[in-house]
Amino acid sequence: MILVKQLKDKNPGVRCYAAEELGHVGDVSVVPYLIKLLEDDHQEVRSSVARALGEINHQSALTALIKALSDPVGSVRVWVAYAIEQIGISDEDVIWGLIAALQDSEWFVRSRVATGLGKVGARSQEAQLALKNALEDSNQAVRKNAEMALQKINHDPKTE
């Protein structure tokens, strides 16, 4: 497939485009190629790859995405958190990865993580406690998303 070949292009713009298009296609077979690019030298490529993995929505990407929550660039971490939320698998590694990311230095990452925990952490007492603690965050958006996540958890019939 030509898009997979473009993931190796020297031009980061081409790699971004290829990752985004592969995300739109949604073919699970490209996940391993995309995972390799979560360590690309260019933050735009890593962000595009995270978005694509969220669109493809396959659990085989979760281990790499959890690791990528520690990317040095906040804009990448926020897309990684989004991708994890989109995949929506509620396993222990995912929940603990998101709980740790709720302490991120960037408010916009913490805000996205709070939303994600509301989706994947519904049955986790630890996730609920972390969200309750986030109600005291210094940022209003984080507090609001933590509040909405807790409301969602409390109204979810699966958690009752």
Q: Considering the domain delimited by 1-89, tell me its CATH architecture.
A: Alpha Horseshoe (1.25)
- Banded pLDDT at 156 (limits 50, 70, 90): low
Domain limits, the chain: 1-89, 90-160
Q: Which of 93, 113, 90, 3 is nearest to 48 (CA)?
A: 3
pTM as predicted: 0.92
Is residue 11 within a helix (H) or strand (E), and if so which, with residue range? none
Q: Provide the CATH topology of domain 90-160.
A: Leucine-rich Repeat Variant (1.25.10)
Which pLDDT tens digit goes with each residue over 29-81? 999 999 999 999 999 999 999 999 999 999 999 999 999 999 999 999 999 99
- pLDDT score of 123: 82
DSSP assignment letter at 91: -
Is residue 3 within a helix (H) or strand (E), and if so which, with residue range? helix 2-6
Q: Which of 50, 18, 20, 16 is nearest to 35 (CA)?
A: 50
1-89 matches 90-160 in fold: yes
Which pLDDT tens digit goes with each residue over 87-127? 998 889 999 999 999 999 999 999 999 999 999 987 889 99
